[in-house]
Structure 1
């Protein structure tokens, strides 16, 4: 678990940095406390999702973070955390995490 903690810290730092560089914080204002915005998709058109930060601790979500790190490093073109997977896969994963948390 300690090995994965730096990835979570780096992802949170990236999100804070991305929000501080925005000229308008309108998009950041619609993200409730305890949540973060991620961009998902394999094409040029990425869709924005707001997810609970608790998902970042889940092993299955950690795999997506590893893929994001390998593809983008921590310099994401969207200015936020970009997840390189299909929307269908992301929705399936988050649906399972939501059910598991209930």
Structure 2
């Protein structure tokens, strides 16, 4: 009889431990979700411009020539150091229009290099509705105030 009671107590302890672990997991997942939201499935966050505006872009965009050019610019600006998210040193307005064009017709615009985007859309930059000023700067040096 005493052996059966020990077995029941052990089962209760295991069940209680499992309940505590499940509750801890739920609490920790809630904390993670609220403090550091994850990008949508198949996407990643990039931070653009001096203001480091966050964009969720499809991960497949990184294989396109325009993003290869942006990544080259990033490497020139920051080197190969990786601290935090992917930062792209271009104007937010220009980046927004790249992403809009790619979402609209990836087959057509996905073949353009960064230089081709700049040439193709620099004349139209003055007509971009979301650009507040007429002088759109494509690349902004983000390390102006960096200490060496």
Which residue, 94, 97, 100 being the options, matches 2:102?
Answer: 97
Does 2:38 match 1:33? no
Deviations 1:56-102 (A, max 9, x none): 0111121111101111123245x110000000110111111111238
2:70 aligns with 64
Identify the structure with the greater strand proportion: 1
Tell me which structure has the larger Cα radius of gyration. Answer: 2
TM-score where L is the length of structure 2: 0.46
State the number of aligned residues: 76
TM-score under structure 1 length normalisation: 0.64
Deviations 1:11-44 (A, max 9, x none): xxxxxxxxxxxxx564242x12210000001x2x
**Any unmatched runs of 5+ in structure 1?**
1-23
Taking only aligned residues, the RMSD between alpha carbons, in angstroms, comes to 2.1
- The verdict on how the C-alpha distance between 1:72 and 1:32 changes in structure 2, with shifts beyond 3 A counting, is same
Instruction: Name stretches of at least 5 consecutive residues in structure 2 with no aligned partner.
Output: 1-31, 108-148
